[in-house]
Amino acid sequence: MQLKHIAGNSYFLDGANCVGIYIFSDQTCLLVDSGFSESQAKKIVTLLTAEGLQIKTIFNTHAHVDHCGGNEYLQTHCQCDIIASQMAAAIIENPIFGPAMLFTAYPLKVLRSRALMAQPSKVNRIASPGPLLINNLEFQVYDLPGHSLGQTGLMTPDGVAFLGDSLMHEQMLMEYPFLYMVDITRQLETLDFIRRQNWPLVLLTHGGLVNDLGGCLEKNQARIIKITEEILALLDIGRSHEEILAAMLIKYDLNANSGQYYLVSSTIAAFLSHLSQQKMIRNRVEDGVMKFYRIKRE
Ligand SMILES: [Zn+2]
């Protein structure tokens, strides 16, 4: 992990889970997300301390473990404040909601692992879209829902946009064809929103700085449209959620463990909800099974 400069006082720590850094003139700093785990958080503290920096604030883009997994350690050891959206805060403070959302009830033990559930930490400030003063400097918060509920992005005074997982780096799209999303309708709106902003400096947690934002947005949108069409093609006959899930796991050759199974299952549910919202499918219970059908148009 290395501290890399982006522009002005905006930096990032590179690696599989990039962490955004903004350095204030008093040598305190803001982190955008806190890494995957306590061990990553320890490395962050060691590295920033060696630079003479003190962590004062964490801004969490969303409540997935690879974004808030270092919160508890950092808050305990650095007494830093945590800022997050209302919805992200609910999960950061009550991490059981994350796997419970995947399982739709108190989750299986395998879903309560460290890979899917962070230690709880305390959110000190709720972020809403618009200007946000941190250490007397004005940052901008953007609503970017879709990949998760209540995901936000943060722009530093240098014009660097830290966008979390609101879109996926092209490399990630190639490696992981089936990326987690909870709200497809909102995700498409978020991609449109980012396209309209045309920010010059965008950092994504997985993959780092984006070279070609327009191209990256197009590939993200194309992936959603492709999966939408693949699901629709299955629904000329009525199929259950689990049958659609099985078909997609086989089609994409996803050798899923229990955690991945429920992540993909949740994403399929998000697509079904989107298609229903678009009036492209309908559903009804048949012999005790919820079945989804494509609505035929002339
Ligand atoms: Zn995420």
Domains of the chain: 3-212 (3.60.15.10), 225-294 (1.10.10.10)
Residue tagged 């061990």 (tokens): 39
Q: Is 284 helix (H, G, I), strand (E, B) or coil?
A: strand
**Residue ranges in the chain modelled with pLDDT below 70:** 298
Element (H, E) at 91: helix 86-93
Q: For residue 173, report the distance from its CA to the centre of ligand 1, in Å.
A: 14
Q: For residue 25, report the distance from its CA to the centre of ligand 1, in Å.
A: 31
> What φ, ψ does residue 288 adopt, rounded to 5°?
80, 10
108: DSSP letter = P
Whole-angstrom CA distances from 24 to 5, 13, 53, 288 are: 14, 16, 9, 60
* pLDDT at position 172: 87
Q: For residue 64, report the distance from its CA to the centre of ligand 1, in Å.
A: 5
170 contact partners, CB below 8 Å, separation of at least 6? 207, 215, 216, 219
* pLDDT at position 256: 79
Q: Is 256 exposed, middle or buried (0-12, 13-18, 19+ CB in 10 A)?
A: middle
SS3 of the chain: helix, strand, coil, percent, to 5: 40, 25, 40
pTM: 0.95
Q: For residue 147, report the distance from its CA to the centre of ligand 1, in Å.
A: 6
Whole-angstrom CA distances from 164 to 98, 145, 160, 255 are: 17, 11, 12, 26
Q: Is 104 exposed, middle or buried (0-12, 13-18, 19+ CB in 10 A)?
A: exposed
Q: For residue 151, report the distance from its CA to the centre of ligand 1, in Å.
A: 9
Residue tagged 């808030």 (tokens): 68
